[in-house]
């Protein structure tokens, strides 16, 4: 199968095209798979872990905001380090640092509060420290992923190319919550401590594998982002098609940033809904709310895996814009459906309703390959990777305070108000994209 002419019409074809990629790209992506397992097993459950360590809703919001800061800043500094020491060694260093971050998360459960006189360092403070380190490897995520797809596909098939790598990488997102669900079936602790141990193992495995298997002699990842001094020039060079997409995307991501970290708390703290089901041969299974949340995440990702490749193919017929718009709409409407849905819809078992809602949420990933294609397509013709990096930096920088706002409303107002405002902000982004969003020329 040709790398450039491969057809992707479903998940199986997406995997087939992915494994036809060259060795260095494949190895880097396998490392992404290992780290994705570790991140997805831990990150989505860390808000509940913070609450267990004594944090409140506002602290959870601060944690989400720190994640936004890291997402905006780290890719640039990752590029600087790569330019100085080379991609292979930079990836290795970042991998070991990330593993150490997982280890700090694990140690947080055993570190008592430290009274410094002026301030008391609560155990949850170390979860923040761990986040600063655990996210280091992901500083190469955007640049590496985009470079992979640019090398393997033609402009009119960018959405399919992204569907191939996304389908492979997000399989880890499907498996990880199920692993967590098994380990925290009764309650969050001590099962989550074993989750963190497994996360450390995956991080070390991915780091060692990429160091010895990754051949980066001709690799340019890390030289695409030149730092903050280029941002103004790169923004001025943004192709016209990217500007309305950036505005709409920022609204939608800001809305999601307000509530994303609190999805697990809705299930475990507000609704306190678990899952009781009968498994053939095994018998009755009772899952704690935290474990049920893991099942919901897997349902969400299963829908994503089943729809990403077909949606990418559909985009070639109807254009990228409608598919991207659908993803934006699901992002925007999901918070209000989650917070009000179980009470608003009477006569339906809340457990199955939540499963249906998270299945619906999986459709937001259906638009992800088309979304990435709409970003990288015009950018490739303009200023290249730096423009793409600037796009993500600006979006990330504006989204930074979203977590704090969501946490403030959660703790000092009501969760319902927080989720309602988030949906309103997200719908503004959807409406803006419908009116002003432009199509990528190769898909017209």
Residue range 160-164: mean pLDDT, rounded: 61
Q: Is residue 6 part of a domain?
A: no
Q: Percent helix, strand, coil in the chain (nearest 5)?
A: 75, 5, 20
State the chain's mean pLDDT as an integer: 80
Q: Is residue 426 part of a domain?
A: yes
What six digits make up the tokens of 83?
């330019």
For residue 333, is pLDDT > 90? yes
For residue 128, is pLDDT > 80? yes
Parent domain of 49: 11-214+224-443
For residue 67, is pLDDT > 70? yes
pLDDT at 205: 87
Q: Is residue 275 part of a domain?
A: yes
pLDDT at 101: 94
pLDDT at 296: 95
Q: Answer for the pair 325, 434: CB distance below 8 angstroms, yes or no.
A: yes
272: left (phi over 0), alpha (psi -120 to 50) or beta: left
Q: Which among 160, 169, 174, 152 is positioned nearest to 323, based on CA atoms? A: 160
Is pLDDT larger for residue 367 or for residue 146?
367
What six digits make up the tokens of 182?
């098994």
pLDDT at 303: 93
What six digits make up the tokens of 84?
């100085």
Count of structural domains within the chain: 1
pLDDT at 180: 92
Q: Is residue 166 part of a domain?
A: yes
Q: Is residue 5 part of a domain?
A: no
CATH number at residue 33: 1.20.1250.20
Taking the alpha carbons of 433, 233, 138, 48 in that order, is the dihedral positive or negative? negative
Q: How confident is the model at residue 383 (pLDDT cuts 50, 70, 90)?
A: very low
For residue 145, is pLDDT > 80? no
Widest Cα–Cα separation across the chain: 66
Q: Is residue 1 part of a domain?
A: no
Please enumerate in sequence order all residues whose Cβ is within 8 A of that of 16, keeping only pairs 6 or more positions apart, or say none. Answer: 1, 6
Q: Which among 310, 427, 434, 424 is positioned nearest to 369, based on CA atoms? A: 310
Least confident of 14-23, 53-62, 90-99: 14-23
Q: Is residue 180 part of a domain?
A: yes
Q: How confident is the model at residue 314 (pLDDT cuts 50, 70, 90)?
A: confident
Q: How confident is the model at residue 222 (pLDDT cuts 50, 70, 90)?
A: very low
Q: Is residue 4 part of a domain?
A: no
Is pLDDT larger for residue 415 or for residue 374?
415
């Amino acid at each position: 199968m040709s790398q450039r002419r491969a057809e992707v019409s479903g998940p199986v074809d997406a995997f087939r095209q992915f494994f036809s990629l060259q060795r260095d790209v494949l190895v880097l992506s396998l490392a992404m798979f290992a780290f994705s397992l570790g991140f997805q097993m831990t990150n989505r459950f860390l808000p509940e872990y913070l609450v267990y360590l004594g944090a409140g809703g506002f602290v959870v919001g601060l944690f989400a905001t720190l994640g936004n800061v890291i997402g905006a800043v780290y890719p640039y500094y990752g590029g600087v380090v790569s330019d100085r020491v080379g991609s292979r060694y930079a990836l290795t260093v970042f991998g070991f640092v990330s593993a150490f971050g997982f280890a700090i998360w694990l140690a947080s459960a055993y570190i008592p509060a430290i009274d410094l006189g002026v301030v008391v360092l609560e155990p949850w403070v170390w979860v923040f420290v761990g986040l600063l380190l655990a996210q280091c490897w992901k500083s190469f995520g955007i640049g590496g992923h985009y470079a992979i797809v640019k090398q393997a596909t033609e402009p009119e098939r960018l959405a399919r190319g992204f569907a191939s790598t996304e389908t492979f990488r997000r399989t880890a997102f499907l498996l990880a919550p199920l692993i967590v669900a098994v380990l925290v079936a009764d309650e969050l602790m001590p099962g989550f401590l074993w989750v963190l141990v497994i996360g450390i193992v995956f991080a070390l495995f991915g780091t060692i594998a990429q160091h010895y298997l990754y051949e980066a002699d001709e690799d340019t990842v890390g030289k695409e982002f030149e730092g903050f001094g280029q941002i103004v020039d790169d923004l001025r060079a943004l192709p016209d098609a990217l500007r309305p997409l950036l505005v709409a995307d920022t609204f939608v991501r800001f809305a999601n940033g307000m509530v994303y970290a609190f999805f697990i708390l809705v299930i475990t703290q507000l609704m306190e809904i678990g899952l009781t089901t009968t498994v053939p041969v095994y018998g009755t299974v009772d899952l704690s709310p935290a474990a049920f949340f893991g099942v919901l995440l897997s349902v969400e990702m299963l829908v994503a895996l089943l729809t990403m490749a077909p949606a990418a193919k559909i985009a070639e017929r109807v254009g990228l814009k409608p598919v991207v718009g659908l993803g934006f709409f699901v992002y925007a409407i999901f918070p209000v459906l989650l917070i009000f849905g179980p009470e608003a819809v009477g006569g339906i078992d809340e457990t199955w309703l939540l499963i249906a809602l998270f299945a619906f949420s999986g459709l937001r990933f259906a638009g992800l390959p088309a979304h990435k294609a709409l970003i990288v397509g015009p950018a490739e013709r303009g200023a290249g990777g730096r423009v793409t990096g600037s796009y993500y930096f600006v979006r990330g920088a504006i989204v930074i305070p979203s977590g704090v706002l969501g946490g403030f409303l959660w703790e000092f107002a009501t969760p319902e108000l927080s989720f309602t405002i988030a949906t309103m902000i997200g719908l503004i982004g959807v409406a803006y994209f419908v009116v002003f969003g432009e199509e990528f020329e190769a898909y017209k």
